[in-house]
Amino acid sequence: SGSERVKSISRKPHGRNHTTTTLSNTAVGEMETARLPKVSLSEMMPAWVKRKITAESTGTRKSGVGNSTQSKNSEQKQHYYGQYEIHSSETIISHEFNRGNWTWAMEWSPDGNYLALATENHDLAIVDAGMSASLWKVIHDDHIGRLKNDTTHTIRAIAWGTTFIAIGGTGDAVSIIEPYLPASSSLRPSGITKQSFRVVDVITETGFVSALSWQKNSNILAIGNREDQCLVVKVCRGNDSSVNTNILHNVERSDWVNAVRFSPGGTKLAIGDRSGLLSVFLFVVVEQGEPPALSSLQNITMEDNILDIQWAPDAKYLYVGGEDYCITVIGTSKWDVLQKIGRDRWVPFLAPSRGGSYLVSGGSENSVSLFDVKKEWREVTSLPL
């Protein structure tokens, strides 16, 4: 409610003075809403998925456009459950990339035209996957070599921000990569005639990096590691075009930080660790010209290790997956648990659709499950892999 208060916001510039303010939950929500993307997000469900959902929910066997046979009894319904046909112009797997090793992380570019893939063999691949592209193609695939701390890293986390790509993993470092793509050719340095992905800075002594997240429309990056920390850093470009990093906050935790995620509007930061503690922080500018302050907003304890955190696109829900064999749905207006969706295995990966109408989970079940948010997160189908 509007009368409830958020804990005071404290900031320690250079480790000394504190600045404190108090905001209502209503004000916090309004700040987030004001910064949400001002775009129309429509949900486009592939036709074959629609037919699969229909077949599974009604027991109807589909056999071409406009031709269906309703099962006559429960035995037939059980027999035909989930059966459907793919039309000649449709495929379930539209593209498949053989990476030669385990793929640990994937991340879309902010405009949705490119996909970054990271593998066990230290390679970073960039795929041109725009809606206008009839065929997705790998436009960059290169080995991330030794870093300035004389280590290499198997990439376990990727975050693609407005200006930079951040990657991290086993190498006790986060590499900051500056992408130059055909759509932004005017920004290319002289002498570069095609797309490039250069490492422009390396943040060292980060420990094993488990998670990365950029704040919306900024160069502020959250880093979750196995040193029981969440580091919040700002990546800056100097007058000489060099790139360097300043640490804004170091959030100490009791266990490994496996998940970090800024809200879609960038005013909140969610942190999940191996102890099962989910913490949400308010992240706003208190004094003009000063970096954003970090203030505890809510703590919720899960039953086991947290592996992934995702915000709904409108920030009304926070989704948590982990080793407690369930997906936890949290309402952000009152920070209450709205739903716990039981699963047979751990839930290491979650992804809401761009319009927020659907939620997908995947991981060790060898399948991807699709949930309908408007039907109280009912599982409408699963796709075996």
Q: Give the distance, in angstroms, between the CA of residue 146 and the centroid of all CA atoms in the same chain.
A: 27
**At residue 304, what are phi and psi to the nearest 5 degrees?**
-160, -175
| Strand order across the beta sheet in which 277-284 lies | 257-262, 268-273, 277-284, 293-301
Among 235, 219, 231, smallest CA distance to 162 is for 219
Handedness of CA 120, 168, 279, 31 (dihedral sign): negative
- What amino acid occupies position 7? K
pLDDT tens for each residue of the chain, 385 residues long:
333 333 333 333 333 333 344 566 666 666 777 777 655 455 767 676 777 777 777 654 443 333 333 333 444 444 444 455 555 555 556 677 777 777 888 999 998 889 999 877 778 889 988 776 678 888 888 877 666 656 666 889 999 999 999 999 988 899 999 998 865 544 445 455 578 898 899 999 999 999 999 999 999 999 999 999 999 999 998 888 889 999 999 999 999 999 999 999 999 999 999 999 999 999 988 777 788 899 999 999 999 999 999 999 999 999 999 999 999 999 999 999 999 999 989 999 999 998 899 999 987 677 889 999 999 999 988 887 7
**At residue 182, what are phi and psi to the nearest 5 degrees?**
-50, -35
Q: Give the distance, in angstroms, between the CA of residue 240 and the centroid of all CA atoms in the same chain.
A: 33
Paired residues of 373 in beta bridges: none
Residue 280 and residue 289 in contact, taking contact as beta carbons nearer than 8 Å: no
Per DSSP, 197 falls in state E
- pLDDT at site 211: 97
- pLDDT at site 103: 81
**Coil/strand/helix, residue 194:** coil
- pLDDT at site 331: 97
Residue with tokens 């592939």: 46
- pLDDT at site 98: 73
- pLDDT at site 254: 95
Strands 306-311 and 317-322: antiparallel
d(CA 317, CA 233) in angstroms, rounded, equals 26
- pLDDT at site 366: 78
Q: Give the distance, in angstroms, between the CA of residue 53 and the centroid of all CA atoms in the same chain.
A: 26
pTM of the prediction? 0.80
d(CA 342, CA 319) in angstroms, rounded, equals 13
Residue 193, Cβ neighbours under 10 Å: how many? 8
Paired residues of 202 in beta bridges: 175
